[in-house]
């Protein structure tokens, strides 16, 4: 329908949108200024609708991630309280309850981290520092986790300085390394390379873990995305690690790429342009 009173229609549509109805669209075939205004209005409505959908998805994801640990905490505490679980097994169930509280606490930490990174005033303090030393520290910090799985770690790190926010990049290497460990089986291998090629510094983190299906790769960096949605309690995580990685790298103007094959392993490659 082409409006007889386009400005009036536009005013009504804007009022609808102010009430939260983002599905309103107006039609116009005219190429004049009003027609252009209507096209822009429709474009704005589409964008707002997308943001609104994302917000709804986000809330439902957060609720789900909160609900599932709470369900097991509630179930197991009740079972222990009602003496349904024999004394000798109680320790095991208390351990699960403890792990679930850790999961909730990690979720809130990661949500706060994302909120801070999303905000305009997120702290960003780049300094010049040795990236090879930082990567080595990440390997040391994660030693209990990779030792537990008897993973072999190979490092081939050139001594390289970068200009970046050290705390933020700490988080990137930690999240990538944690994934490499988490999705590896016993006795696997993790290789970390650092090299410089003209004005680009390359970091490669390669594992011999379970790999990622092809159709999952485009979604890896989305918030709450997990390949295995119904995974067991033993593989923990909320699917936020890689979205934080991506966000931090975007702030730095860096790129990340993934190559992976199921049953063979995954390689994450990060390019940092050297600006000094
Ligand atoms: N190195 C890897 N090998 C195999 N799969 C991986 C690897 N890294 C990530 N994935 C897959 O990508 C998904 C998203 O990773 P991401 O780090 O964002 O979340 P997570 O590890 O599930 O949870 P979190 O990092 O929030 O604790 C994981 O659930 C996993 O399925
Ligand atoms: Mg992770």
Q: Which domains does the chain have, with CATH numbers?
A: 1-122 (1.10.287.130), 127-273 (3.30.565.10)
What is the number of the ligand closest to the CA of 236? 1
Alpha-carbon span 48 to 42, nearest angstrom: 10
pLDDT, mean over the chain: 93
| 192, two tokens | 């970390």
In b/e form, how buried is each residue of 187-209, taking b as 16+ CB within 10 angstroms? ebebbbbbebeeeebebbbbbbb
Measured from the Cα of 227, ligand 1's closest atom is 31
Nearest residue by C-alpha to atom 29 in ligand 1: 226
Ligand 2 mean position, distance from CA 203 (Å)? 18
Confirm if 270 and 246 have CB atoms less than 8 A apart: no
Other Cβ atoms less than 10 A from the Cβ of 169: the count is 25
| Ordered alpha helix ranges (H), the chain | 6-18, 33-81, 87-118, 131-141, 143-148, 166-182, 241-251
Ligand 1 mean position, distance from CA 262 (Å)? 14
Confirm if 139 and 153 have CB atoms less than 8 A apart: yes
pTM of the model: 0.86
Higher pLDDT residue, 30 or 10?
A: 10
Q: What is the pLDDT of residues 237-276, one digit of tens each?
A: 899 999 999 999 999 999 999 999 999 999 999 999 875 5
Alpha-carbon span 227 to 233, nearest angstrom: 15
Question: pLDDT band at 213, cuts 50/70/90?
Answer: very high
Other Cβ atoms less than 10 A from the Cβ of 117: the count is 18
DSSP code of residue 209:
S
Q: What is the pLDDT of residues 61-120, one digit of tens each?
A: 999 999 999 999 999 999 999 999 999 999 999 999 999 999 999 999 999 999 999 987
Ligand 1 mean position, distance from CA 203 (Å)? 18
């Amino acid at each position: 329908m082409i409006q007889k009173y386009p400005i009036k229609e536009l005013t009504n549509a804007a009022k609808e949108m102010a009430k939260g109805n983002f599905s309103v669209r107006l039609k116009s075939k005219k190429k004049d200024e009003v027609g252009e205004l209507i096209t822009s209005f429709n474009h704005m409505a589409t964008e707002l609708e997308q943001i609104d959908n994302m917000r709804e998805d986000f809330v439902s994801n957060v609720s789900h991630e909160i609900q599932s640990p709470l369900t097991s905490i509630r179930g197991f505490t009740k079972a222990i309280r009602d003496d349904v679980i024999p004394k000798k097994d109680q320790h095991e169930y208390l351990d699960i309850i403890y792990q679930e509280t850790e999961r909730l606490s990690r979720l809130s930490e990661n949500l706060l981290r994302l909120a801070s990174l999303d905000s305009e005033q997120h702290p960003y303090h780049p300094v010049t520092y040795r990236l090879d030393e930082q990567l080595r520290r990440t390997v040391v910090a994660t030693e209990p986790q990779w030792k537990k799985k008897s993973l072999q770690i190979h490092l081939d790190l050139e001594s390289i300085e970068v200009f970046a926010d050290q705390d933020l990049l700490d988080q990137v290497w930690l999240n990538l390394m944690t994934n490499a460990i988490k999705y590896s089986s016993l006795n696997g291998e993790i290789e970390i390379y650092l090299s410089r090629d003209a004005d680009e510094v390359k970091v490669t983190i390669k594992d011999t873990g379970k790999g990622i299906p092809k159709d999952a790769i485009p979604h890896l960096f989305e918030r709450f995305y997990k390949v295995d949605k119904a995974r067991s309690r033993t593989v923990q995580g909320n699917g936020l690690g890689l979205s934080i990685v991506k966000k931090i790298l975007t702030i730095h103007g860096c790129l990340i790429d993934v190559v992976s094959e199921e049953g063979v392993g995954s390689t994450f490659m990060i390019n940092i342009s050297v600006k000094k």
